[in-house]
Each structure stands twice: as structure tokens, then as C-alpha cells.
Structure 1
Amino acid sequence: MLEAHRVSSLRSRWEVREDDAPLLVLEAKGWRSAVRYTLDGIAYEVQSSWTGTQYTLTTDDGAEVARAERIGRKRWSIVTPEGTFFFRRRSIWKADQEWIADPDSEEPVGSIRRTGTWRGDAEADLPGMPTPLAVFTLAVVLLMWEQAAAAGATAAAT
């Protein structure tokens, strides 16, 4: 199980722990929805498209490892060379996400849920998913939540 704890309320920065042991730090990069991290000696970058509906996971040499598509929709997916992982928003009232075996599944395989309303902490229970992909999934959801909060704040200000 992965846990993300927001380190600073001023910046997008999370400490990620795996089974209560420190694993890595997701560090915001630039003005776009993007984070960097290093896992097992490999530097990764998660970056959104300009519309925010697609995220890519690349290594420091520019190789694409995975791509998240249809971000912000009720159903979205992560495409990798090994296959596609399907997700859905748990309900219209909650931002929690469920990992499902296929688009028609009713029973979740795993989940990502908020554990702190104000701080932006989260918990990812993604059993059997490789750690680099699980971290990418968690990062995408954290960035998705930040993007939705920013859009809500902008709408409230007008």
C-alpha cells in the first residue's frame, strides 16, 4: 500500500511511503501539472498535456513508460506496453478512484482514496500493480485532484 503525505501546503510536494517505509518524494516541476521522482535509481517525470486530460510517465532519457488517458472523466485508463489498466471515479460526490479489471467490471481490484481533506493526503491500495506504475497512478490522481481544486477555486473567484 502506498501513502502520500503532502509536505508543504504552498507547493505540490508529497512524501510517498510504501508499507510505512519512505519510498520517494513527488516534487512539482514548473507551472504545468507535472512531478518528478526517482525510484530504484531511475528518474521519472509525470507530465500532463496542455488540456490536462492525458498524463505521460517518461524516464530521464525521454522513453515513455505509460500514458493515462481521459483524465477527469468518470472512467479513465492507463496504457502501458504490458496492457491497459482501467479506473473509475467511485461516485459523483467523491473524488476517490477505483481500479477495475475491465471497463464492464463492477467489483474493484484496488482503490485510491483521500485520507486528508485539507492537506491532500491519499492512500493507494493497488495490489499486484508494479511499484513504478502504482506510483504513476497515485501521482496522476493527486495531480487530477489538484487540477480540480484549482478549477473550483477559479470558478468561485469569478
Structure 2
Amino acid sequence: MKVLILCTGNSCRSQMAHGFLQSFDPNLTVCSAGTEASGKLNEKAVAAMKEAGIDISHHTSDSVEKYLDEEWDYVITVCGGANESCPAFTGKVKHRLHIGFDDPSHATGTDEFIWSEFLRVRDEIRAGFWKFYNENIKSI
């Protein structure tokens, strides 16, 4: 089972989703990419995942171009921008889904509020991908 998770920058939400989905089932092939990959991970996303017991610090921020020629069971977008600009994987994707989340890297305010947004979105991603996993993959 191969799953590609797409976001715009591939630095935060897609990386967290990648980490959670891989933690649910190590036998899955999970990759994440960005339609406009930033080339680096968001430090707060890495810290939020570490707090949840998942190390994503070794992940890389890759362009979706890297994966266009591969076949995927699922391509899942996690932000509106990636959903709108998702490239065509003509005939190579069995299922294309959108599971959207707010971008915590756009939060403004106190350090405490910004951190709370990362934790909120992280927990929403965990719940959303746990639901996806249970409904679409676990029973296979």
C-alpha cells in the first residue's frame, strides 16, 4: 500500500500526517511532498511531533515532481492550495482524497498561542489520519 500526502510547502501538515500514518502501520509506504516544496521542515512541527512520540526530523521536504511517475493507492491533499493545484497522476492513482487542516505556521500572536495552534492541528491530523487508516487501510 502506497500513500502520498501532498501540501503546498511540505514543511508542516503533510510531514505530520506522514509521521502519524507511518506510525500506525510501518508496513505502509508513505511519502509526502509539496506542490511548492520549501526544502525544509518547520521546526515547530518537528517539536510538536516529538512531543507526541514521533520523530520526523529525518524527513525531507520534496517536490511533488519527484513522485509523478510512480503509482499510488492514495494521494491525499491536506491543504486547500495543494488540493486546487494537485497535478494529474493520470491513471496512476487509485484514490485521491482531500483531508484539509488549518496551517499552524500562519498563526500569529503570543508564543504560547502559536504553540497551541501547532498542537491543535497536530491532534486534528492524528485524528483525521487515524480515521482514514481505520476506514480505508486497516481492514485490507
The TM-score with structure 2 as length reference comes to: 0.35
Bigger relative contact order, structure 1 or 2, given CA contacts below 8 A and separation 6+?
2
Higher helix share: 2
